């Protein structure tokens, strides 16, 4: 079955941002370990660099809602986002209370995005299986 134009754009963008994330993450870590590693504002910019492709992935997912030409697929996508967001917020809330009680490690907040992306994938299987 041929891939629709909007799904092709989505796949290309996700692959591009995924590759950019890998490059910027590894690059930033390697640079920070060097004796000549930047300090001050450049260090802030370097630290934030891997976040930009992740924001690009979020933008790509949101663009799918706009670019999907098929209204039923858009409907399923909306449900997928709602399920992913609900699961992620629930997990983040549970984890936060466990952190407050010193029962689990304190995690960097960007893990929320990673968990949301994972939940988005799981929700996609669930929503389309029930569709």
- Residue 122 C-beta: closest distance to other proteins, Å: 19
Contact residues: other proteins, CB under 8 A: 4, 69-73, 75, 131
Nearer to other proteins by C-beta: 17 or 77?
A: 77
Distance of alpha carbon 74 from alpha carbon 76, whole angstroms: 5
Distance of alpha carbon 37 from alpha carbon 131, whole angstroms: 51
CA nearest to 80, candidates 68, 96, 95: 68
- Residue 15 in tokens: 């692959």
CA nearest to 118, candidates 95, 86, 84: 84
Nearer to other proteins by C-beta: 4 or 113?
A: 4
Cβ pair 124, 80 in contact under 8 A? yes
- Residue 77 C-beta: closest distance to other proteins, Å: 12
- Residue 16 C-beta: closest distance to other proteins, Å: 25
- Residue 72 C-beta: closest distance to other proteins, Å: 4
Q: How many residues does the chain have?
A: 131
């Amino acid at each position: 079955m041929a891939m629709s134009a909007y799904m092709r754009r989505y796949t290309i963008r996700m692959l591009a941002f995924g590759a950019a994330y890998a490059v910027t993450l590894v690059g930033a870590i390697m640079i920070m370990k060097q004796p000549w590693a930047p300090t001050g504002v450049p260090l802030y910019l370097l630290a934030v660099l891997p976040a930009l492709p992740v924001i690009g992935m979020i933008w790509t997912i949101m663009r799918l809602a706009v670019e999907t030409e098929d209204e039923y697929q858009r409907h399923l996508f909306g449900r997928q986002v709602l399920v992913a967001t609900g699961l992620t917020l629930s997990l983040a809330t549970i984890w936060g209370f466990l952190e407050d009680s010193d029962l689990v490690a304190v995690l960097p907040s960007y893990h929320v995005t990673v968990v949301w992306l994972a939940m988005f994938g799981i929700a996609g299987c669930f929503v389309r299986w029930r569709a």
